[in-house]
Homo-oligomer: A and B are copies of this chain.
Amino acid sequence: MARMMRLAMVVTALPLAFGAVSAVAAPIDDAALMTEAKALFEPVPQVVPKVSGNAVTGEKVELGRMLFFDPRLSASQLLSCNTCHNLGMGGDDNLETSVGHGWQRGPRNAPTVLNAVFNVAQFWDGRAADLKEQAKGPIQAGVEMNNQPAVVVESLKSIPTYVEHFKRAFPGEADPVTFDNVAMAIEAFEATLITPASPFDQYLEGNAAAMTDAQKRGLKTFIDAGCAACHGGVNLGGQDYYPFGVVERPGADILPPEDKGRFTVTQTAADEYVFRAVPLRNVALTAPYFHSGNVWDLNQAVAVMGTAQLGRDLSDAEVADIVAFLHALTGEQPRVEYPILPASTNATPRPVLMMPN
């Protein structure tokens, strides 16, 4: 009798055991998963976050919006911040690496500007402490906007409407049109570029119906497989630096040997091929992937992360679930009115299209 019962239990248990192996049939305990997730992640706030040392005022945001879209920040007067950080395309350019002055190719894939305010530092190697420092980089980089701070300031000072905007955005300053204030205004605008209310955010806030079963399984796998160890917090990443890869270095097509990542910033051997963990918010909008931009398929990117960072061959079903979860990270995209920019004057420096010497 006892033996028959044990056998019956085994037989009954079989479908459950198979169920546990197959991702499709796994039961989802929403309460437990939400609790687990809340310990690792935070929702994107509905309000514009504070920025250290830079009050996000309406006047500054308005000026920053103009500057963000103004191609006159570049020497050619053709490339704006929005060229590579396109607010209609997930906050980046969806190119492998960006195209800049003279059709030159940049060295790395453009990171999204959306939610970038939540990152611990900016650029793939974290070489800029914050967005105001970051903003100064591409304006001056020869392969990007190829401009000089003095020319930027001369241009803005030659346009009376801009001077008025700077006065309003930086009240009390005797000479408000400065390159530092250009960066401050852009940072203030970028702080507004947050994408709340994604399905994942709604789930984190207790709405079990906000994510599909596949997305919930993906979240569970994302946590259990170890992805969340690096991709945590509000941005699911962007908070610390890790080697690519932790377990197995990917091929040269994905990790070109000449780009040593954070080593260039710290000159520390341990930082060779170290990069900031990518923030995964809106990642479904920002193909291609990795600093090299050589992987276009999000499924492939997840699989590469499995082998490179976790030493694990994720199954097709696991990859599919994680990708479904990553789609749940697409939030409400910022609605921005395209700015009307004041006209140049006869005193405005002319566009320079030729290549730098």
Name A residues whose Cβ lies closer than 8 Å to a Cβ of B.
69-71, 76-78, 83, 86-90, 93-96, 99, 102-103, 105, 284-285, 287, 296-297, 333, 335-341, 343-344, 346, 350-351, 353
Contact = CB atoms under 8 A, between A and B. Distances in A.
Given A336-B338, A337-B338, A343 B90 contact: yes
A106 to B, nearest CB: 12
Given A78-B93, A335-B337, A343-B284, A71 B86 contact: yes
Contacts of A94: 77, 344, 351
A86 B77 CA distance: 12
Contacts of A102: 103
Contacts of A333: 340
The secondary-structure label for the interface of chain A is loop
Contacts of A96: 351
Contacts of A95: 76-78, 351, 353
A143 to B, nearest CB: 12
A55 to B, nearest CB: 25
A337 B340 contact: no
9 contacts: A69-B88, A76-B95, A76-B99, A77-B93, A88-B340, A99-B353, A336-B338, A337-B337, A338-B338
B339 A88 contact: yes
Given A333-B340, A336-B337, A353 B78 contact: no
Contacts of A105: 353
Given A95-B77, A344-B94, A338 B103 contact: no
A151 to B, nearest CB: 16
A84 to B, nearest CB: 9
A214 to B, nearest CB: 18
A284 B345 CA distance: 10
